[in-house]
Amino acid sequence: MNKVYATCEEAIADVFDGAVIMFGGWGPTGDPENLIRALVAKGTKDITAIASDPGNDRDGIVYGIMPLIREKRVKKFIGSYHAWNQEFIKQFKAGELEFEVYSQGIFIEKIRHGGAGLFGFYTDVGAETLLAEKKEKKVIDGKLCVFEPPLKADFAFIKAFVADKWGNLQYRYTGQNFNPTMATAAKVVIAEVENIVGVGSLNPNEIHTPGIYVDRIVKGGYYAPRF
């Protein structure tokens, strides 16, 4: 039941080329930056990355999955927007990576369905746009709707504020935006946390992700933003 790994390198050792990986995000409280950098160092490539955005590099400050983008390790990105990431846009225009885009609400709902074992849903969002051109459609209550299948992953790299050794997690602030849902939708969930406490130290009423969803824990702390 002790799910703590000594290093990020050990926690991601079995992540393979071509893996589908979810990355929790939304700033330093939610980005698993140390896990991402360990993945860059490992050399993993041809990744399908699922995240809100592809991160960025502004004035030398690198965040999110930008290190993977910059090293051209991502073959397909599924998310909500490109974050005005010029390197990402350059690779997309050159045909070096694929971009599958969804509005943020649809994006997280697809992940929620993946985690809940559901088979997808119909929505009128985007049904009459080019994004729905090849998707299944039907009219519901007089509205044209498009079918959205669930999103699942081989691995989820998530970030939490504190964990106990059984993997029960608490998040802070915007870290709750995507991490809790992604923790339900992957075969292997790896949590980078700032603090690790003993079992029984967390108030059960304040646990955001139950340990049953979490396979591995590693203490990451704050990352060095210049990379």
> 92-102: string of b/e by CB count within 10 Å (b at 16+)?
beeeebebeeb
pLDDT along the chain (227 residues), means of 10: 93 98 88 95 98 87 92 97 91 96 95 98 94 93 97 97 96 93 98 95 96 96 55
Query: What DSSP element (H or E) covers 180?
Result: helix 179-182
Q: Which CATH class is domain 16-119+151-219?
A: alpha beta
pTM of the model: 0.94
Predicted confidence (pLDDT) per residue in 109-131, tens digit: 999 999 999 999 999 999 999 98
Task: Count the neighbouring beta carbons within 10 Å of the beta carbon of residue 146.
Answer: 21
Q: Strand ranges (DSSP E) for the chain?
A: 4-5, 20-23, 47-50, 56-58, 61-63, 74-79, 98-101, 121-123, 137-140, 143-148, 153-164, 169-170, 186-197, 216-219
